[in-house]
Amino acid sequence: MTEIPKEEYVLKCTSACAGCSSSLILRYVLKAAGPDTVLVIPACCTSVIQGIYPNTAMNVPIYNVAFAAAAACASGMSEAFQSAGKKTNVIVYAGDGGTVDIGIQALSGAFERKTDFLYICYDNEAYGNTGMQRSGSTPIGARTTTTPGGKTHSKKDLDGIVAAHDPPYMATACSAYPQDLFKKVQKALSIRGPKFLHILAPCPPGWRYSSEKTIEMGKLAVKSGMWILYEREYGKVTINGPSKAAMIKPVPVEDYISVQGRFKGISKEALESLKSQAERNAKRLSLEEKGIC
Amino acid sequence: MLTIATGNKAVAAAVRQANPAVIAAYPITPQTEIVEQMAEYVTAGELKSRYIPVESEHSAMAACIGASITGVRTFTATSSHGLLYMHEMINWAAGARLPIVMANVNRALGPGWNVWAEHTDAFQERDTGWLQVFVSTVQEAYDATLMAFRIAEHNDVLLPVMVNLDGFTLSHIMQSLETVNPGDFIPPLHLPHAIDPAHPAGYGTLTGPDDYFKFRWDIERSMRDSVKVIRETEQDFADRFGRSYGMTEEYRCEDADVVVIAMGTLGKEAEVAIDLLRKEGIRAGSMRIRWLRPFPTLDLAGRDVVVIDRDYSFGFGGILAQSLKAKHRCEPYSVIAGLGGQEVTYDDIAGFIRDRKPGEEYWFGVKA
């Protein structure tokens, strides 16, 4: 077991919802990053979770910035710290809306310019802060307040887009696997250049499940193959243990879907699409891991 | 050193001497020469700035914001659509009290595509909390840019400053330029609220109405205080380098019965018109407004006022004329001229003054 520091940087006064996984994720991110860190946060749940002025629930500086601007703001910050000879970690902590939709241009620009920073997208698969509207990251079939009949389009392949920028390190993680998450943050911060973590963040009010089931929901996502834990280090793919096991003996996708209110009444076609997308992802990553494609 | 340069090159020369730690910029006509020149300085090792070739103007301002909050000097430049594309971040920079300096090469807005001079781009940013100065010569572009860093970074101000120069009629014309050795004219930046991991704090945190209201008042208070800082800075500049401009540059106004008020290169052109009218026995003067924000107070009592707006607020009027009308209770003859680079000569300006009809609005060159 990795020794996880006892220091807390997410203090016990956040305004997160009960069972919120994104504050749990941030807790481990900051434990891995340590105190010489600045978080850059665009509009997202964490804008609220951190607390209300003049208080802050975070024991590192947070720079809040406009929705589309996180990666560009971090670019400037990273260059400024370097010009001053400082080694401060610059970490963007952004939701899926701020990443796959409105923030993708700035993200792409920062990765193309090989900015030295870590970009983390915590993905609860909708605009949670504003009450669960669909985002480009919402899976097909999921009901949100703007897709009351279930989303008719598939989840955007964010990782594929980021991979096209050939960053030195990118990985997926999930709040239900904190040891794995901690190690990935540490590894990312040991590498110079643009690093990317895409972290699944189950959301009780948004996904419509009972708040004590947040960890269970993350585990089911991985065990069903709906979320695959892997790393891409200098282009080389490694599928992590839990997902390796899931590829050999997955639990049915229905086990993951049926416990979430957002998928209630999902059409047969949407369910098939979810399943086939999960299968394609697994197949593609396995081939990449073997160096076949 | 005496040389010749374009308005754009003059801005670049001043920025080089101000030595910002971070420059983030995206090219747009007619600003391109500034960012190209900065890139050349950096590539040649003449400037140690970190140059971030961002993918948009929104990101240019966001990158300056991210850099500035660490406590270092920053610069960017834009124009027209670029300025409007960064509008959200322009507000953010002022609200975050960051002394970013930006050159804006004034250009019309599409459609249709038009790359020539107009002030509507900058005027659309007038309520953002930025200080804005408009220059009229190559020399002034250089001088105002040097002064902009000192004014923005003064701890009684801590607001961003926009240096506006007319597209092509100033950005691309050559005039003599005397560069100076700034020495300690621009003191090192001390940003009191710079980010420091040793002292964690939330910046731009969710803020309730009472605190938010106080922060807005703080911006206005600093905007008011900036008048004194601008005057002090101009005075020190004049003492050191022998040139001064003022909040408004007045020309032959002492005994003037009529004053023409304009900005940028048209304001300079107006001085030629004044000489022409004086020969005809018309006691005319010119007031070239340099600072759009903070907006100056003018001595207009008992005078006819002719205002030339190179901008327009549809459904309202020439923005400068309307602002003066509101502030000074005058009835200006409001001339709308020079939009989209329309040619306006000193003869035309003399004509506006001769044919003035106080209280009326006139669109130059448009047949009724």
Q: What does DSSP assign to residue A12?
A: T
Antiparallel, parallel or unpaired: β A194-200 and A230-233: unpaired
**Pairwise CB contact (< 8 Å): B58 & A50:** no
Find chain A residues with C-beta within 8 A of B22's C-beta.
76, 79-80, 83
Q: Average pLDDT in the B227-241 region? A: 98
d(CA A119, CA A104): 12
**Pairwise CB contact (< 8 Å): B22 & A73:** no
Instruction: Assign 3-class secondary structure to A98-127.
Output: HHHHCCHHHHHHHHHCCCCEEEEEEECCCE
B201: nearest Cα among B69, B21, B68: B69
Please count the residues of chain B.
368
Res B250: pLDDT? 98
Find chain B residues with C-beta within 8 A of A113's C-beta.
52-54
Closest partner CB to A79 (pick from B55, B67, B197): B67
What average pLDDT is seen over chain B?
98
Find chain B residues with C-beta within 8 A of A40's C-beta.
66
Minimal C-alpha gap between B104 and chain A (Å): 20
Please report the sign of the dihedral spanned by the C-alpha atoms of residue B253, residue B259, residue B262, residue B265: negative
Whether B209 has its CB under 8 Å from any CB of chain A: the answer is no
Domain ranges of chain B: 2-182+203-241, 248-363
Closest partner CB to B72 (pick from A51, A68, A83): A83
Please report the sign of the dihedral spanned by the C-alpha atoms of residue B167, residue B169, residue B173, residue B177: negative
Q: What is the pLDDT along chain A (293 residues), one digit of tens a residue?
A: 789 999 999 998 899 999 999 999 999 999 999 999 999 999 999 999 999 999 999 999 999 999 999 999 999 999 999 999 999 999 999 999 999 999 999 999 999 999 999 999 999 999 999 999 999 999 999 999 999 999 999 999 999 999 999 999 999 999 999 999 999 999 999 999 999 999 999 999 999 999 999 999 999 999 999 999 999 999 999 999 999 999 999 999 999 999 999 999 999 999 999 999 999 999 999 999 999 87
**Given this chain, do its domains B2-182+203-241 and B248-363 carry the same CATH topology?**
yes
Give the best residue of B205, B213, B215 to mutate against chain A (max A CB count within 10 A).
B205
Find chain B residues with C-beta within 8 A of A61's C-beta.
195-197, 199-203
**Pairwise CB contact (< 8 Å): B24 & A75:** yes
d(CA B222, CA A192): 40
Q: Is pLDDT above 80 for B367?
A: no
pLDDT digits (tens, 9 = 90+) for B209-226: 999 999 999 999 999 999
Res A104: pLDDT? 98
Confidence of residue B152 (pLDDT cuts 50, 70, 90): very high
Of all residues in chain B, the one with the smallest CA distance to A75 is B63
| Domains, chain A | 21-289 (3.40.50.970)
Closest partner CB to A36 (pick from B21, B197, B211): B197
Whether B23 has its CB under 8 Å from any CB of chain A: the answer is no
pLDDT digits (tens, 9 = 90+) for B159-212: 999 999 999 999 999 999 999 999 999 999 999 999 999 999 999 999 999 999
Closest partner CB to B22 (pick from A61, A80, A109): A80
CB neighbours of A293 closer than 8 A, spacing ≥ 6? Answer: A284, A287
ipTM: 0.97
The answer to whether the beta carbons of residues A189 and A89 sit under 8 Å apart is yes
3.40.50.920, 3.40.50.2300, 3.55.50.30, 3.40.50.10420: CATH of B248-363 = 3.40.50.920
Closest partner CB to A106 (pick from B62, B195, B208): B62
Minimal C-alpha gap between A88 and chain B (Å): 8
d(CA A200, CA A221): 9
Question: Which amino acid, one-letter code, is at A128?
Answer: G
Whether B68 has its CB under 8 Å from any CB of chain A: the answer is yes
Whether B187 has its CB under 8 Å from any CB of chain A: the answer is no
**Pairwise CB contact (< 8 Å): A106 & B58:** yes
Res B22: pLDDT? 98
- The runs of H, that is alpha helices, within chain A are 21-33, 45-49, 70-83, 104-112, 158-163, 178-189, 204-207, 214-223, 241-248, 253-257, 268-289
Closest partner CB to A53 (pick from B52, B60, B206): B206
Find chain B residues with C-beta within 8 A of A43's C-beta.
none
**Residue B21 token pair:** 């730690």
Q: What is the CATH number of domain B2-182+203-241?
A: 3.40.50.970
Question: Which amino acid, one-letter code, is at B3?
Answer: T
Res A94: pLDDT? 98
Q: Is pLDDT above 70 for B158?
A: yes
Q: Is pLDDT above 70 for B331?
A: yes
pLDDT digits (tens, 9 = 90+) for B19-53: 999 999 999 999 999 999 999 999 999 999 999 99
**Pairwise CB contact (< 8 Å): B22 & A83:** yes
Q: Is pLDDT above 80 for B273?
A: yes
Closest partner CB to B52 (pick from A35, A65, A76): A76
Res A2: pLDDT? 80
**Pairwise CB contact (< 8 Å): B202 & A53:** yes
Minimal C-alpha gap between B221 and chain A (Å): 21
Closest partner CB to B55 (pick from A50, A80, A109): A109
Closest partner CB to A60 (pick from B65, B67, B197): B197
Whether B210 has its CB under 8 Å from any CB of chain A: the answer is no
Burial class (CB in 10 A: 0-12, 13-18, 19+), B56: middle
Whether B72 has its CB under 8 Å from any CB of chain A: the answer is yes
Res B123: pLDDT? 98
The more confident residue out of B367 and A106 is A106
**Residue B224 token pair:** 């008011």
Antiparallel, parallel or unpaired: β A117-123 and A89-95: parallel
Of all residues in chain B, the one with the smallest CA distance to A49 is B206
Res B368: pLDDT? 63
Minimal C-alpha gap between A52 and chain B (Å): 5
Minimal C-alpha gap between A34 and chain B (Å): 10
Whether B87 has its CB under 8 Å from any CB of chain A: the answer is no
Inter-chain CB pairs, A–B, below 8 Å: 164
Cα-only R_g, chain A: 18
